[in-house]
Amino acid sequence: MEKYNVNVQKGGEGKSVAECLKVGQDIKAGNPAAELIVKAQIHAGGRGKGTFTNGFKGGVQFSNSPEEAAELAGKMLGNTLVTHQTGPDGQICNTVLINEGLSIESEKYFAILMDRTHNGPVMVASAKGGMDIEEVAATEPEAILTEPIDIVEGIKPEQTEKLARALGFKEENIAAAQQNMSNLYDLFLGTDSTQVEINPFAEGHYEGSPSTVFCVDAKLNFDDNAAFRQKEIYAMRDVSMEDPRDVRAEEAGLNYIGLDGTIGCMVNGAGLAMATMDIINMYGAKPANFLDVGGSASAAQVTEAFKILTSDSNVKGLLVNIFGGIMKCDTIAEGIVIAAKEVGLKVPLVVRLEGTNVEAGKHILENSGIEVVTANDLDDAAQKAVAAIA
């Protein structure tokens, strides 16, 4: 954000107590009166009210000295923070952000995101910043303002002025609010973002400085298809914060979603995945996950998909539901057989194949030597999968 001249608080991150101490000292050197804000960096909200598994409470702390800030960081680093968004397992804190404290005078909300209704980017803003914007949208939809952006002409000054005044910025801060909105759009385009959300988009000041506009907290999403030209951004990715199965599937060119049921699902295509999960629910069980092998997976990718599914300890049974078009049924069958033998499959396996090379696929399964229950259609497959784990 600094690169795009967006006004943010001074600060930096540290992965050790020594690094956090240095950040705090640098902030204090520029402003001896500054308060230091110490924030645990995990991929979840509710950090301030969270508790670390070592008993330390609060993933957001305040300090007046670099030494105290570093001491607080030491209680966070290497420890697991549990919040209402992490679930009971929590997430390990490997990085701490130290920022210069800011006296906030008012909090607004501002975002730029891709919107299908407008067929392009749109600015979304609200005077009710610092709050759960989804709740505001649900209870006070009139408090949410939208302003479409012409992708050829870009943001117009009259649009940013309209929003700045509607949000209630002080007259002396209107120009700063407009400039930050414009700079955020430059960031949106320059980083191939799909969402740039600032909450709060605030008026505030440092001790002894005049009021101005700050982007205090941000959430940014990026288009994965542009990763090849956003190497600097994607190098910041911390896969330790992500489900290792998601990462493993992505590396194999697959799509994996973990759920909380007991039947693992291998499918091809998002529509078939949804239908498979719905019918499992209809027959009284819940999907543990689904893994979409897409339309052109190789036998090696199918093997890896099978291994990812069986690595989930909650899985009590597997349902493979493939409608072969570009994805050939014999390729799926080959991968299933290889993987089942490699992992030593110990849970029931139900397979429904239909489409391209289906007879060849069934023949491979029948002569594989692995224990497999075949199904004729989706309804039959779901019933057998549920019955198998009963």
Catalytic annotation present for 153? no
- Rounded to an integer, what distance in angstroms lies between the CA atom of residue 108 and that of residue 123? 13
Q: Is 172 exposed, middle or buried (CB count within 10 Å of its CB: 0-12, 13-18, 19+)?
A: exposed
Do the beta carbons of residue 57 and residue 51 sit within 8 Å? Answer: yes
Do the beta carbons of residue 361 and residue 353 sit within 8 Å? Answer: yes
What are the residues facing 317 on neighbouring strands?
A: 263
Q: Is 45 exposed, middle or buried (CB count within 10 Å of its CB: 0-12, 13-18, 19+)?
A: middle
Catalytic residue among 107, 109, 147, 256: 109
Tokens representing 390 are 């009963």
Beta strands in 51-210 (DSSP E): 51-52, 60-63, 80-82, 91-92, 96-100, 103-115, 120-126, 145-148, 193-205
Catalytic annotation present for 256? no
β-strands 255-258, 263-267 pairing? unpaired
Catalytic residue among 35, 100, 107, 197: 197
Catalytic residues: 109, 197
